[in-house]
């Protein structure tokens, strides 16, 4: 009885949490028309596309996963603006890159189990190169390409009637499943693609649902970003296989990789249950979980996922870890050189956009998302802009064009089409 009372108290407190907009935030509204917002976002895209290397499908000055993120934005732009301005570039180049790298796996790393949206574009981002974060090295995966394919697929399916991108997304998802820890494997403490004994449980919770970030037989890391959900594919195809996979992954992150402040953590070692430093807090881990949970809640009708999503979203937009009291994100401010953090904050913004789409009846939540997005939008336009180009430091000062600065801004400008 005490357990049930405690659980009821927890759910009630989550449902009644304060979703109010902090008054310390900088400019949390704007009065630009829809047409103006569409133009601002497309103008920024037009500054990026001349950097395309037509032989590779990637962009000069960006890494592989970051280039994939650009295609996600272009697909989203067409969907949200109701245009087909970018469709040929998206489709042709996603198909080009898929032809160059099997499963989009340029680095032979596992990818996030990316998802599909029925009405918009696909999701998930990835990468697999080592990424330097301060003194540490955090390695991720190349699912960003799977994500961009997925985003692109929905655009293509709805407007171009080209099903290649769906096939590519399913291919990537299938490729990753060999590195997911199943319940049977957790129980047996053996994963067939790994040469070491895995832990059945860590801190009393099963390791089932975790996804190894790298397919080498000796790599032990299971990451939140690699574990991504399969909810978009479940949503689009209505296939229960994807729904079950999404729930398994959602439960793994919920059990292992959320801190006391409701921020999503990075890595758990499957061989000894050790974890990445508590200071390894990156916007994109929370952003991808927010995105996946938003879809999973809609697919399953299970309110536990929307409650969890709201808790994490509320914490992500109000934490002081990656922004000041003014609400402007400071993570990935790197005017002179590219690094992987630069694109992380864009992934958070995209996740907030998905939460907005799926929760339009929750006025307090949509107001919070709208306000947070406007904080970033106004900072970019007023503090970090040189014409239609943007600094990766959203607090400014403005600077000449860099591919990475432009990349970081694109999701903010495109998502703002939706959330105002």
Angle between helices 64-81 and 87-100 (to 10 degrees): 150
- Determine the Cα–Cα distance for residues 390 and 192; give it in Å rounded to an integer: 46
Nearest to 349 by CA among 419, 261, 403: 419
- Determine the Cα–Cα distance for residues 333 and 391; give it in Å rounded to an integer: 8
- Name residues whose C-beta falls within 8 Å of residue 211's C-beta, 6 or more positions apart in sequence: 110, 112, 113, 176, 179, 180, 181, 222, 223, 226, 227, 228, 249
Strands 221-223 and 267-269: antiparallel
Q: Does domain 24-419 have CATH number 1.50.10.20?
A: yes
* Six-digit token string for 91: 């489709």
For the purposes of burial, counting CB atoms within 10 Å of the CB of 39, is it exposed (0-12), middle (13-18) or buried (19 or more)?
middle
The count of other CB atoms within 10 Å of the CB of residue 89 is: 19
Q: What is the pTM of this model?
A: 0.86
For the purposes of burial, counting CB atoms within 10 Å of the CB of 33, is it exposed (0-12), middle (13-18) or buried (19 or more)?
exposed
Per-residue b or e along 116-141, where b marks 16 or more CB atoms closer than 10 Å to that residue's CB: bbeebbbbbbbbbbebebeeeebbbb
pLDDT, residue 42, reads 98
The count of other CB atoms within 10 Å of the CB of residue 192 is: 9
Nearest to 411 by CA among 96, 29, 35, 66: 66
One DSSP character per residue, 194-228 reads -SSBPPSEETTEE-TT-BBS--STT--EEEHHHH-
Give the mean pLDDT per block of 10 residues along the chain (420 residues): 36 62 97 97 98 96 88 90 90 87 66 32 29 24 41 46 68 84 97 97 96 89 79 85 92 96 96 96 95 94 97 98 97 93 92 95 97 98 98 97 97 96
pLDDT, residue 109, reads 52
Per-residue b or e along 50-65, where b marks 16 or more CB atoms closer than 10 Å to that residue's CB: ebbeeebbbbebbbbb
Q: Rg of the chain's alpha carbons, rounded to an integer?
A: 20
The residue written with tokens 């790393």 in the block is 109
- Determine the Cα–Cα distance for residues 8 and 123; give it in Å rounded to an integer: 33
Q: Is 385 helix (H, G, I), strand (E, B) or coil?
A: strand
- Determine the Cα–Cα distance for residues 352 and 358; give it in Å rounded to an integer: 10
Nearest to 242 by CA among 258, 250, 154: 250
Q: CA 35: distance to chain centroid?
A: 27
pLDDT, residue 231, reads 83
pLDDT, residue 163, reads 62
């Amino acid at each position: 009885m005490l357990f049930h009372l405690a659980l009821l108290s927890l759910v009630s407190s989550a449902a009644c949490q304060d979703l109010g907009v902090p008054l310390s935030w900088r400019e949390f509204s704007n009065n630009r028309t829809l047409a103006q917002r569409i133009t601002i976002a497309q103008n920024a895209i037009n500054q990026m596309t001349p950097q395309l290397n037509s032989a590779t499908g990637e962009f000069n000055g960006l890494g592989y996963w970051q280039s994939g993120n650009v295609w996600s934005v272009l697909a989203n732009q067409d969907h949200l603006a109701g245009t087909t301005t970018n469709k040929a570039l998206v489709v042709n180049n996603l198909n080009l890159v898929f032809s160059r790298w099997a499963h989009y796996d340029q680095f032979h790393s596992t990818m996030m189990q990316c998802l599909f949206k029925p009405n918009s574009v696909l999701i998930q981002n990835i990468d697999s190169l080592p990424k330097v974060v301060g003194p540490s090295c955090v390695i991720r995966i190349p699912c960003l390409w799977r994500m961009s394919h997925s985003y692109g697929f929905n655009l293509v399916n709805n407007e171009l009637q080209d099903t290649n991108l769906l096939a590519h997304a399913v291919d990537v998802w299938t490729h990753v499943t060999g590195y997911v820890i199943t319940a049977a494997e957790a129980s047996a403490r053996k994963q067939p693609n790994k040469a070491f004994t895995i832990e059945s449980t860590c801190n009393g919770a099963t390791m089932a649902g975790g996804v190894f970030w790298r397919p080498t037989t000796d790599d032990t890391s299971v990451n939140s970003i690699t574990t991504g959900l399969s909810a978009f594919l479940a949503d689009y195809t209505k296939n229960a296989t994807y729904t079950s996979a999404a729930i398994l992954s959602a439960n793994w992150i919920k059990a292992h990789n959320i801190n006391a402040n409701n921020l999503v953590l990075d890595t758990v070692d499957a061989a000894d249950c050790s974890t990445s430093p508590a200071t390894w807090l990156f916007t994109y881990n929370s952003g991808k979980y927010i995105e996946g949970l938003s879809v999973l809640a809609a697919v399953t009708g299970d309110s536990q996922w929307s409650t969890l999503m709201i808790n994490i979203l509320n914490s992500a937009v109000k934490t002081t870890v990656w922004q000041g009291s003014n609400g402007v994100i400071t993570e990935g401010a790197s005017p002179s050189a590219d690094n992987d953090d630069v694109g992380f904050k864009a992934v958070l913004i995209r996740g907030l956009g998905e939460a907005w789409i799926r929760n339009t009846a929750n006025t307090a939540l949509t107001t919070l998302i709208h306000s947070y997005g406007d904080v970033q939008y106004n900072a970019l336009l007023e503090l970090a802009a040189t014409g239609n180009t943007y600094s990766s430091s959203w607090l400014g000062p403005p600077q000449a064009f860099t591919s990475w600065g432009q990349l970081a801004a694109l999701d903010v400008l495109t998502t703002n089409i939706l959330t105002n």
